[in-house]
Structure 1
């Protein structure tokens, strides 16, 4: 309830500012921001994050430069260095590289008077250190989200001890991997047999390249009951993966994260059976607002959980149109 009230208050403030802007001109003109949407241009998840940030830019009148990273942590670090050198008023970063890799650069940016905040993957050490200077977080609580999806799948699909699950995730990434760990912990607690596969950098950047991986796995593990894709782009590609492996909509349970137009279609067609939606549009819109509020008014960082709940065939049509518009 507390998290819900925080989000309601933030959105109320947004409406007030947008209303004022319509009457008096743009509210945060002159503020310059570098923003990291995460993936590639056109990536199913990153494109929704981008639309949210772009809407905030248009609503508030700030100037935003967008930096796409193909979900590669090393590239994010290098691009963050470049962003600091450009001396914008604020930088909104994806936290995938983790505190160890990013904290020295965050220290450098803050010392130079640049506001830094994060989205999608939290940076708890930096947030604790610089919250009073506008360092916030907009995204889901990663471990809790993974655990919740795993537990929901066990309940919904009647999974039992000895059932085989493939979990395709990002355990190698310090903080981002917590969501994968949450899924695995839920499955192992229920004594499922878990086969873990790390998402390679190539598949991370271009999800359809993973089709042979799924085909090969299912060929050698015909008893697999469920596949979990801990990545919005991979979840959006579940139908392609399963069809490529010669599977029909009822042969393997497919679950994952994030709502996109492609995922809506996969749910309709029976190839994706359950997702946890983390509302990536908000992960674009609200970090822009955070930086603007801190720059103009000195507000401290806001920690906002955007994890909204589960979507399956029973409720997908309620949000399908917005997903197809790239908003949900």
Structure 2
């Protein structure tokens, strides 16, 4: 059931309101009932390193849902490395929890047999952030859902919005800093590149190394070297939440002034909010990772307790810029946005 695929406008809001009302009612004990997640355990891979800005918001959402529903939550970290995600899944499988929440970066082929094994043992599985379309098609009736965005669509949408707001022209130089070698995750980067090229921009691509993927501070030398070689670049698009959050620092260190470049990226954090406020980052697509954490825990509980099939929930509909950062920044500081 894709609630965003079949509903629009006011009806979407009504449906989500109903869902949260249901969660509230399920998490509020009465004299005759316990929380719906009582005696359940969930192992949750939040994707990034310990303390990473994006992974922390996912974890905050999952923790809140676990508290609301009475679930015993175990958080795992994978430094954004697909192989480590698979290793974490195997560890979780051996622990025989009620459910496992995965990031889909390794792809369907890597997860297929493991997910099948989990369901055969009565363990619920669902995914966030990066879709597993084949697994979803095969296992949705058993409760396998997805909370997140379409990676292909998110890249295209952000690029189109940046082109509209930045008023670029054919021949302008752009740089996409992203990932091309991780299954479905790479669709976002490809969407950014193809959309800019279709608009006539000249696009440079820089691959995010595994080391920088884990430790964004290593990106300083990458940006410094690139800008030294390419002084005429006008647009930088960053397909990585933690690196987006550091763009203000990177550009200050290279002597770039606010608004000298148009920078667009993904995901919020206090550092990203500061970069927007100080005009080093002009546009951010918000995939609302707090909801990924919260609603995926709800998915596992609902499927295990009541046999509901998997939900397909699109969390990435909005953009953050100077126009709305004053409202959103305090929520980013709390680890909610």
TM-score range, shorter chain: over 0.9
The residue aligned with 1:97 is 106
- Report matched runs for 1:72-87 at 5 Å: 72-87=81-96
Q: Which residue of 2 aligns with 1:238?
A: 247
Of 266, 269, 293, the residue aligned with 1:284 is 293
Deviations 1:93-136 (Å, cap 9, x if unpaired)? Answer: 00011111111211121122111100000000001100011100
Return the alpha-carbon distance in structure 2 between the equivalents of residues 23 and 264 of structure 1.
45
Does the CA contact (< 8 Å) of 1:208 and 1:240 recur in 2?
no
Shift of 1:141: 1.6
Kept in 2, the 8 Å contact 1:140–1:307? The answer is: yes
Partner of 2:220: 211
CA contact (8 A) 2:45 2:76 kept: yes
Cα deviation, residue 23, structure 1: 8.8
CA distance in 1, matches of 2:146, 2:76: 18
Please report how far the alpha carbon of residue 22 of structure 1 lies from its aligned counterpart in structure 2 after TM superposition: 9.8
1:137-173 deviation per Cα after TM superposition (whole angstroms, max 9, x unaligned)? 0001211111010001111010111111110111111
Q: SS in structure 2 opposite 1:176?
A: helix
1:327 aligned residue: 336
Q: 1:66 aligns with which of 51, 70, 75?
A: 75
Contact in 1 for aligned 2:45/2:88 (Cα 8 Å): no
Cα 1:243–1:80 shift into 2, 3 Å:
same
Q: How many residues align?
A: 328
Provide the residue aligned with 1:153 in structure 2.
Answer: 162
Q: TM-score, normalised by structure 2?
A: 0.94
Contact 2:46 2:55 in 1 (8 A): yes
Q: Within the alignment, does 1:56 sit opposite 2:65 as a pair?
A: yes
Q: What is the rounded CA distance, in whole Å, between the counterparts of 1:90 and 1:37 in structure 2?
A: 14
Task: Note if 1:88 corresponds to 2:97.
Answer: yes
Match of 1:27 in 2: 36
Alpha-carbon distance between aligned partners in 1 of 2:157 and 2:279, rounded to the nearest angstrom: 21
User: Quick one: which of 26, 49, 55 aligns to 1:17?
Assistant: 26
Q: Of residues 230, 248, 270 in structure 1, which corresponds to 2:257?
A: 248
Structure 1 unmatched ranges of 5 or more: none
**SS in structure 1 opposite 2:102?**
strand
SS at match of 2:77: coil
The Cα of 1:302 is off from its aligned counterpart by 0.3
* Runs of at least 5 residues in structure 2 that lack an aligned partner in the other structure: none
C-alpha distance after superposition, 1:250-302 (max 9, x if no partner): 22111101111111111011111001101010010011110011111111000
Q: Distance in 1 between matches of 2:36 and 2:119?
A: 24
The answer for the alignment partner of 1:115 in structure 2 is: 124
Of 33, 49, 57, the residue aligned with 1:40 is 49
Shift of 1:16: 2.3
Cα separation, 2, equivalents of 1:9 and 1:189: 41
Measure the CA separation in 2 of the matches of 1:21 and 1:272: 48
Q: 1:192 to 1:59 in 2, by over 3 A?
A: same
The offset of 1:15, in angstroms, is 2.5
CA shift for structure 1 position 24: 4.8
